[in-house]
Structure 1
Amino acid sequence: MDEAIEFGTDGWRAELSEFTSPRVSMVAQGIADYLREEADHAGGTVAVGYDARDTSPGFAADVTEVLTTNGFDVTLSERDCPTPVVAWTIQDRNLAGAVMITASHNPPRYNGIKFIPDDGAPALPEVTEAIESRLREPEALPADEHGVYREDDFVTPYFEDVLVMMDAHLTGIDVVYDGMHGSGRGVTDELLEMAKADVHRIRCDYNPTFGGSSPEPSAENLEALVETVEERDADIGIANDGDADRLAVVTPERGFLNENLFFAALYDYLLEYNDGPAIRSVSTTFLIDRIADAHGEDVYETPVGFKWVAQAMAEHDALIGGEESGGFSIRDHVREKDGVLMALLAAVMTAERPIDDRIDDILETHGEVHQDRRSIECPDDRKEPVVDELESQLPDTVAGVAVERVNDADGFKILLADGSWLLVRPSGTEPKLRVYAEADSPDRIDTLLDAGVDLVEPLV
């Protein structure tokens, strides 16, 4: 029997042995039924986008076929396209929603499908559960009730909007852009050039195998970017993941920049011109809280998953929302993490002041903060039992420091008396448990992570 189709943190992803055209069509039928029966969008227009995997255009065609034969018009991206551009298109054109074919940073043997509702923000569980409950074989309406589809340019209108929004002037700024062969190529780099930056490209050719690795902008996958920034004496290096909803930044002094530090620098920069709270996930640094407190602002913590960040951004009129995995968005933009806009914003920040200098000042003012994580292999069917067992075995001390309190909003975040913390939570996209730690020194991080792994591994 095939594995069940289940929507995780950000849609349904699976290896291609499970992610097949008939199953994608079932999901598309579930989306059509949901739009017609619950979202009151019968006969509306739906955007369909897809990433740079060689299987993605075919799956996008499957979705388009099901939606149009169910009476919906479809506007289909004319090329592989970043997820945030598709989400922005919903708002720009007042669409019923969008379907995005992408497995984001997963290896080429995976693909995925996600539904984005009419507000452009990630679908909340009540939406994905409603779609899951409607999965069925496609059923077409009579031919005279079918919708139509057309291919369209999603990227150019997006460019026009964000260039006005950012008022970016990057003349003289040298940017190295690593597209990782994903959907950011020809988009993020072009946007930077339109803002007059000097852009040097790497991995911006079409390669649906992503050069044999995963399009994940992690430190180990961006060594060439770090080296190129150093060789060119560039001002900044930027990389996007496979569907360009996340980014990584490389600076001249630090090399690969921890995403938490980028978040801190970004919030600090935005507060020079605006006010407003920040939204961060439970796995993201408390450095954001220190910056907010210094400016008389609030911080709201959410479970991991940008859908929760986006929801809180709307509830609190937040200036920024972000996660330690490199996903961010800002006020007055679509509430979906956007690695394209953030790339432009990172370059704009750099044009005003080197990011390294800003971070040096932040750390001098607010104290050193270090964070890291480890992953523990764990089958999906063991995740919930492990977390349940962990609840009864939570310690009173971790690595010799007393536990002050425990936050169970997403797994267990164990807050310690010295201001450090340890988080254990199940991954929403991979068969793994994540162990995170934050403290004031690298040595303390290693000690906390060792303690976290020792606590969890016996339960798997």
Structure 2
Amino acid sequence: MITFGTDGWRGIISEDFTFHNVRLVAQAIADYIIDRNEQRQGIVVGYDARFLSRQYAENCAAVLAANGVTVWLADAILPTPALTWQVKDRQAAGGIMITASHNPPEYNGLKFKAPYGGSASPEIVAAIEKYVHKLEAANSEQPPIADFSGVQYFSPQAEYLAHVKAVLDLQTIYSFKEPIVFDCMHGAGSGYAVALARELGINLKEVRSEYNPSFGGVNPEPIEKNLRFLQETVTRNHAYSGLAVDGDSDRIGAVDENGRFINAHQIIALLAKYLIEKRGWSGGLVESLSASGLIKSVAEKYGRKLYETPVGFKFITEVMLKEDVLIGGEEGGGLGIKNYIPERDGLLLAFLLIEMMAAYGKPLGKLLDELSLEHGWFYYGRRDLHLADRQKKALMESLALTPPASIGTSKVLSVQCTDGCKLELETGWLIFRASGTEPIIRIYAELSTNAELENVLAGAIEFAQSM
């Protein structure tokens, strides 16, 4: 059965993610659009740099066209936020992006973008799933394929970069002349950062920008374990900082001038401080389940409301659509800001970090140290543990029914299992969460010292493996 996770449907190429299944999902989306009488509003279709992504996108476009739905198809690889902007600009009924985001190279996937220019809400996803399951139950034949005479093509880069530039403080950013390394991680952002940097006069060098559907053997997720090459490149070239985006360029990662990794919690806190102090923006802060003590402290200092959501940017999008939100994000680097579409955008966030460094006249490391001296140091870590489905189920059931009294040497004070299981500890917290797309348990923790963090993460892995 085809199911949608926190952000679309993903599967292993040729096993779950097949041309037949892609066409079936495209037919379900066509049925959803037609029943809403929105076929003339149309669907925008795009694709990333993964294996067969272009061909999957062409199949989606052909199925939609065969159903009389207006279709715009990207003429090249593009970042997910560039596709989302096309949906918003064209006032389309939605968008299909062929991408598995930060998943390993054997995966591909399909994201549906809503007319408001952001992740589809749980209600939209549930509605589309019903159409998918109806087709599955009917054991339908292959959906019809049309020729491409009714498909319109578009070139995404210029319009998208214009939207990004519109958010930036150009007077400030034009003054920035320090060297920056930008890691594309062999993803859909390749060529975009260097093109924008050229327009802005920024000394930026792209790395890992070559087309490589295997991503060089490194998962295209901008977390510390995957950014060793960026760290080495920054220190070797004495760069001012290193910035990275994931496989479809909607997530941000960063390292400072010394190659130190800066996690998403720290990026949210830094940008919140900057946008409040220098840009004068209003609004609260939003973060998924694993809200850092650093973000809470920044919110308290500036009197801003802090919202906590389940994992999945679609939940952050819901808050951004309803409330005055300054910035919202997830621990994996998916961040969105106000005065933009309610969407993650790694490229935009990268250039906002450059703008921030220009405004303060300081590199990322110096800015983070100053922030930490004011608000305290919070030691955050994540581990991805491969477990069979049986073990994943047993672990989550055990945590909910008979949680442990301690993890490592830290006493467990309380357990909440509404989205994964969050354990409040004496000096921090720990989260176990089963991936919806991979045979993985993700373990997150934040403690008051690095020694405590390592002790808790080791204890958490030992506990999970005992299932």
Give the number of equivalent residue pairs.
452
> 1:221 — aligned with what?
226
Q: Secondary structure at the match of 1:157?
A: helix
Shift of 1:261: 1.6
> 2:284 — aligned with what?
277
> 1:28 — aligned with what?
26
Shift of 1:379: 3.1
Deviations 1:140-166 (A, max 9, x none): 59x9xx992111012211111221221
Write the distance in 2 (CA, Å) between the matches of 1:381 and 1:68.
Answer: 42
Query: Which of residues 285, 288, 299 in structure 2 aligns to 1:292?
Result: 299
> 1:378 — aligned with what?
387
User: Which residues of 2 match residues 180-219 of structure 1 at below 5 A?
Assistant: 180-219=185-224
Output the amino acid matched with 1:198. N
> 2:331 — aligned with what?
324
Query: What RMSD, in angstroms, separates the aligned Cα atoms of the two structures?
Result: 2.2
> 1:311 — aligned with what?
318
Shift of 1:430: 1.5
> 2:71 — aligned with what?
74
120-129 or 59-68: which moved more?
120-129
User: Given that residues 289 and 298 in structure 1 are in contact (C-alpha distance below 8 angstroms), is that contact kept between their aligned partners in structure 2?
Assistant: no
> 1:105 — aligned with what?
102
Q: Structure 2-normalised TM-score?
A: 0.91
**Identity across matched positions, percent:** 38
The verdict on how the C-alpha distance between 1:237 and 1:381 changes in structure 2, with shifts beyond 3 A counting, is same
Output the amino acid matched with 2:84. A
Give unpaired runs (5+ residues) of structure 1.
none
User: Which residues of 2 match residues 124-143 of structure 1 at below 5 A?
Assistant: 124-135=121-132, 136=135, 137=140, 139-140=143-144
User: Given that residues 82 and 245 in structure 1 are in contact (C-alpha distance below 8 angstroms), is that contact kept between their aligned partners in structure 2?
Assistant: yes
Shift of 1:376: 2.4
> 2:432 — aligned with what?
424
Runs of 4+ displaced beyond 6 Å: none
User: Which residues of 2 match residues 298-447 of structure 1 at below 5 A?
Assistant: 298-353=305-360, 354-380=363-389, 383-418=392-427, 420-447=428-455
Output the amino acid matched with 1:238. L
Output the amino acid matched with 2:210. D
User: Given that residues 321 and 330 in structure 1 are in contact (C-alpha distance below 8 angstroms), is that contact kept between their aligned partners in structure 2?
Assistant: yes
The verdict on how the C-alpha distance between 1:451 and 1:81 changes in structure 2, with shifts beyond 3 A counting, is same
Q: Secondary structure at the match of 1:319?
A: strand
User: Given that residues 47 and 90 in structure 1 are in contact (C-alpha distance below 8 angstroms), is that contact kept between their aligned partners in structure 2?
Assistant: yes
User: Which residues of 2 match residues 22-171 of structure 1 at below 5 A?
Assistant: 22-37=20-35, 39-135=36-132, 136=135, 137=140, 139-140=143-144, 148-168=150-170, 169-170=173-174, 171=176
Output the amino acid matched with 1:172. K
Shift of 1:205: 2.1
Write the distance in 2 (CA, Å) between the matches of 1:226 and 1:78.
Answer: 33
Deviations 1:200-229 (A, max 9, x none): 121222223323433222323322222222
Output the amino acid matched with 2:205. H
Output the amino acid matched with 2:79. P
Q: Structure 1-normalised TM-score?
A: 0.92
User: Given that residues 115 and 123 in structure 1 are in contact (C-alpha distance below 8 angstroms), is that contact kept between their aligned partners in structure 2?
Assistant: yes
Write the distance in 1 (CA, Å) between the matches of 2:115 and 2:102.
Answer: 25
Output the amino acid matched with 2:404. P
User: Given that residues 285 and 324 in structure 1 are in contact (C-alpha distance below 8 angstroms), is that contact kept between their aligned partners in structure 2?
Assistant: no
Give unpaired runs (5+ residues) of structure 2.
none
> 2:181 — aligned with what?
176
User: Given that residues 424 and 435 in structure 1 are in contact (C-alpha distance below 8 angstroms), is that contact kept between their aligned partners in structure 2?
Assistant: yes
